[in-house]
Amino acid sequence: MNCSEARVRLAGYVDDELSPGERAEVDAHTQGCADCRRERSAQWFFHRALPREGRRYAAPPALRRRIRTALRAAGDAAPPAPWWRRWSVTLPVPVLGGAVAALVAANAVLLAGLPTGEERLAEDVVAGHVRALVGSHPIEVASSDRHTVKPWYVGRLDFSPPVTDFAADGFPLAGGRVDFVGGRTVAALVYARHEHMIDVYAWPAPASAREPLEASERRGFNVLHWTAGGMTYWLASDLEMAEMKRLAALLEARRGT
Q: What is the pLDDT of residues 202-211, one digit of tens each?
A: 999 998 889 9
- Percent of the chain past pLDDT 90, that is, above it, reads 36
Beta-carbon contacts of residue 193 (< 8 Å; ≥ 6 apart): 170, 171, 237, 239, 243, 247
Q: Which residue has the higher pLDDT, 83 or 150?
A: 150
Measured between alpha carbons, how far is 96 from 100 in angstroms, rounded to an integer?
A: 6
pLDDT band at 83 (very low <50, low <70, confident <90, very high): low
Q: How far apart are the first and last CA of the chain?
A: 48
Distances (CA, A) of 187 to 12, 103, 162, 212, 220: 35, 43, 9, 21, 23
Sign of the dihedral defined by the CA atoms of residues 138, 142, 145, 150, in that order: negative
Q: Which residue has the higher pLDDT, 180 or 201?
A: 201
DSSP class of 89: S
Number of alpha carbons in the 13 Å side-chain half-sphere of residue 1? 21
Judged by DSSP in three states, 17 sits in: coil
Measured between alpha carbons, how far is 54 from 66 in angstroms, rounded to an integer?
A: 24
Q: How many CB atoms lie within 10 A of CB 35?
A: 13
Q: How many CB atoms lie within 10 A of CB 144?
A: 15
Domains of the chain: 3-54 (no CATH), 58-76+93-114 (no CATH), 117-255 (3.30.200.100)
Q: Which residue has the higher pLDDT, 234 or 109?
A: 234
Please, what is the Cα angle at 201 between 197 and 204, to 5 degrees? 160
pLDDT band at 148 (very low <50, low <70, confident <90, very high): very high
pLDDT in tens, 107-126: 554 444 445 667 888 888 99
Q: Which helix (H) or strand (E) holds 214?
A: strand 211-218
Least confident window among 111-125, 154-168, 228-242 = 111-125
DSSP class of 167: G
Measured between alpha carbons, how far is 125 from 241 in angstroms, rounded to an integer?
A: 16
Q: Which of 36, 237, 241 is nearest to 14 (CA)?
A: 36
pLDDT at position 98, please? 58
Burial class of 91 by CB neighbour count within 10 A (0 to 12, 13 to 18, 19+): exposed
Measured between alpha carbons, how far is 131 from 180 in angstroms, rounded to an integer?
A: 11
Mean pLDDT value of segment 191-214: 92
pTM score of the predicted model = 0.58
